C-alpha cells in the first residue's frame, strides 16, 4: 500500500551550543557561512576570519550562555516540536531535527533516514519568515547533503509560513497570556512591542522578503488580538554593518520618553526559547526597560511545544504536503 510508507518529518533550525566548550566551534560554523555573513576579506579568507571572530566573540557569548544554564535550549525545543507534530500527524510520520551550525548536522541525519528505509521527506523550516540568511542557507545546505548522501530521497520543502492562520492564532494566544500580567492596567496603557531578529539592511535592499513577512505576521496577529498600541523593532544588531531599523533598544527609549510605563514584548521571528529570548530579552532588555522607567515590562511566552502551535504545524504539513 503506497500511502502507508513512512515519511520523514525534518525540522530545520539554526542550532546552538550544547555546552560552554561548544560555543566557539558553533560560532566558527556560523561565521563560516557566507549565506549568513560575508566577512569583508572575501571567500578565500572567510574561514580564517571566522576562526578569529569566533575566538573573540566566544569570550563574551560564553557568559550569556552561562546565565541561561550553560547551553542553548534550542535543540530540546525543536525535538519536542518535531515529535509533537509527528504524533499529531499519525504513525506514518517519523520526526527528525537538522541543525545548520551544530549537532545534529544534516549528513548523519540523512544517513539515518536512508538506513531506516524512508524514501520521502517533508522538510519544514522553523523560521516562519523567509530570508536567505536562515531558511535559504539551511535549505541549500540540506540539498547539498541530499545530493551527496541520499540523492534518491524525495523531498518536499515548506520554506515560509508567516501568514499561516493557526500560527497567527497561536501567537495571539501567547500575547493574550502575556497581557494577563497587566490585569490592573487599562488596555490603552499597555504597549505591545514585537521584536524580530534583525538582518543587515543589504538583505532587504536586494529583495529579501523578511521584513514584509514579519510585518504581515504582525498585522494578522493584531487582527486577532484586538485594539492595542503596537510597534515592531529589530533586535540582536551586533557587528559593524547597517542593520534593519528601528532597533529594539531605540524603541524602548522612545516608549519611555513618550511617558509609557507598561510594555509587553513579543518575540516574533523565533518559535521557541533560546538565547535571544532568555538572555537578550528577559535580562538585557528587561533591565534596560526598567532603568528607563518602563516598570511594567513583560515578555509573551514563546510558542515552544504548546498544543495550539503543534496543531498549527501539523495542519501546515497536512495542507502543504502533497506526497
Ligand atoms: C529569525 C531568526 C534569526 C535570524 C534572521 C538571524 C540572523 C542572523 N544571526 C546572526 C548572527 C548570530 N546568530 C546567533 C544565534 C542565533 N540566531 C538565531 C536566529 C536568527 N538569526 C538563533 C535561533 C540563534 C541560536 C541561539 C541559541 O540559543 O543558541 C549567533 C550566536 C550567538 C551570539 O553570538 O550572539 C550569532 C553570532 C547574523 C549575522 C544574522 C543575519 C545575517
Ligand atoms: Fe542569529
Ligand atoms: Fe542573533
Residue 193 annotated among the catalytic residues of the structure: no
pLDDT digits (tens, 9 = 90+) for 78-87: 999 999 999 9
pTM > 0.90: yes or no: yes
pLDDT of amino acid 2: 52
Cis omega before residue 246 (within 30°)? yes
Ligand 1 atom index nearest CA of 199: 41
**Ligand 1 lined by 244 (C-beta under 6 Å):** no
**Ligand 1 lined by 302 (C-beta under 6 Å):** no
Q: Whose CA is nearest to atom 6 of ligand 1?
A: 197
CB 246 within 8 A of CB 234: yes
Ligand 1 atom index nearest CA of 276: 26
Does 1.10.1040.10 match the CATH number of domain 165-299? Answer: no
**Cα 163 to Cα 196, 228, 238, 243, 269, distances in angstroms:** 15, 20, 28, 24, 12
Mean pLDDT along residues 94-105: 98
CA distance 34 to 32: 6
A 10 A CB-CB count for 89 gives 21
pLDDT digits (tens, 9 = 90+) for 13-27: 999 999 999 999 999
Cβ partners under 8 Å of residue 190, min gap 6: 179, 182, 228, 229, 262, 263, 264, 296
Neighbours of ion ligand 3 (CB under 5 A): 236
Residue 126 annotated among the catalytic residues of the structure: no
- Mean predicted lDDT score pLDDT of the chain: 96
CB 77 within 8 A of CB 304: yes
pLDDT digits (tens, 9 = 90+) for 206-232: 999 999 999 999 999 999 999 999 999
Residue 115 is placed in which grid cell?
538506513
Judge whether residue 310 has pLDDT over 50.
yes
pLDDT digits (tens, 9 = 90+) for 58-85: 999 999 999 999 999 999 999 999 999 9
pLDDT of amino acid 197: 97
CB 280 within 8 A of CB 208: no
* Percent over 90 (pLDDT), the chain: 93
Judge whether residue 173 has pLDDT over 80.
yes
pLDDT digits (tens, 9 = 90+) for 225-280: 999 999 999 999 888 899 999 999 999 999 999 999 999 999 999 999 999 999 99
Ligand 1 atom index nearest CA of 274: 28
pLDDT of amino acid 1: 44
- Check the annotation: does 253 bind a ligand: no
pLDDT of amino acid 169: 98
Residue 197 annotated among the catalytic residues of the structure: yes
DSSP 259-295: T--EEEEEE-S-SS--HIIIIIIIIIIHHHHHHHT--
**Ligand 1 lined by 133 (C-beta under 6 Å):** yes
Task: Spell out where the chain has E strands.
Answer: 7-13, 93-99, 120-125, 154-158, 190-197, 229-235, 262-267, 296-299
CA distance 119 to 8: 8
- Could you tell me the distance, in angstroms and rounded to a whole number, from the CA of residue 241 to the centre of ligand 1? 15
- Check the annotation: does 55 bind a ligand: no
**Ligand 1 lined by 126 (C-beta under 6 Å):** no
A 10 A CB-CB count for 103 gives 15
Pairing of strands 262-267, 190-197: parallel
**Ligand 1 lined by 195 (C-beta under 6 Å):** no
pLDDT digits (tens, 9 = 90+) for 180-190: 999 878 778 99
ipTM exceeds 0.90 = yes
CA distance 270 to 176: 18
Domain boundaries, the chain: 23-67, 165-299
CB 23 within 8 A of CB 62: yes
* Cα Rg of the chain, angstroms: 20
Amino acid at each position: 500500500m503506497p500511502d502507508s510508507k513512512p515519511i520523514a518529518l525534518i525540522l530545520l533550525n539554526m542550532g546552538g551550543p550544547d555546552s560552554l566548550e561548544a560555543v566557539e566551534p558553533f560560532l566558527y560554523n556560523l561565521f563560516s557561512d557566507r549565506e549568513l555573513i560575508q566577512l569583508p576579506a572575501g571567500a578565500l579568507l572567510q574561514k580564517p576570519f571566522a576562526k578569529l571572530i569566533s575566538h573573540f566573540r566566544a569570550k563574551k557569548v560564553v557568559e550569556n550562555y552561562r546565565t541561561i544554564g550553560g547551553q542553548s535550549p534550542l535543540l530540546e525545543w525543536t525535538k519536542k516540536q518535531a515529535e509533537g507534530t509527528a504524533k499529531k500527524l499519525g504513525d506514518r510520520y517519523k520526526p527528525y531535527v537538522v541543525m545548520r551550525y551544530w549537532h545534529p548536522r544534516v549528513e548523519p541525519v540523512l544517513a539515518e533516514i536512508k538506513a531506516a528505509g524512508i524514501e520521502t521527506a517533508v522538510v519544514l523550516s522553523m523560521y516562519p519568515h523567509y530570508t536567505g540568511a536562515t531558511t535559504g542557507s539551511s535549505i541549500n545546505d540540506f540539498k547539498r547533503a541530499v545530493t551527496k548522501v541520499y540523492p534518491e530521497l524525495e523531498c518536499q520543502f515548506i520554506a515560509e509560513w508567516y501568514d499561516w492562520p493557526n500560527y497567527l492564532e497561536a501567537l495571539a494566544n501567547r500575547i493574550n497570556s502575556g497581557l494577563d500580567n497587566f490585569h490592573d492596567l487599562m488596555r490603552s496603557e499597555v504597549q505591545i512591542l514585537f521584536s524580530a531578529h534583525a538582518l543587515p539592511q543589504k538583505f532587504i535592499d536586494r529583495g529579501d522578503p523578511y521584513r514584509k513577512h514579519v510585518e504581515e505576521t504582525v498585522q494578522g496577529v493584531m487582527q486577532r488580538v484586538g485594539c492595542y498600541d503596537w510597534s515592531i523593532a529589530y533586535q540582536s544588531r551586533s557587528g559593524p554593518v547597517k542593520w534593519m531599523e528601528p532597533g529594539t533598544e531605540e524603541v524602548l527609549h522612545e516608549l519611555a520618553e513618550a511617558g509609557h510605563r507598561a510594555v509587553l514584548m513579543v518575540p516574533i521571528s523565533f518559535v521557541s526559547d533560546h538565547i535571544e529570548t532568555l538572555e537578550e530579552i528577559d535580562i538585557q532588555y528587561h533591565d534596560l526597560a526598567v532603568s528607563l522607567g518602563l516598570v511594567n515590562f513583560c515578555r509573551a511566552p514563546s510558542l515552544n511545544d504548546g498544543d495550539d502551535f503543534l496543531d498549527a504545524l501539523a495542519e501546515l504539513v497536512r495542507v502543504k504536503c502533497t506526497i
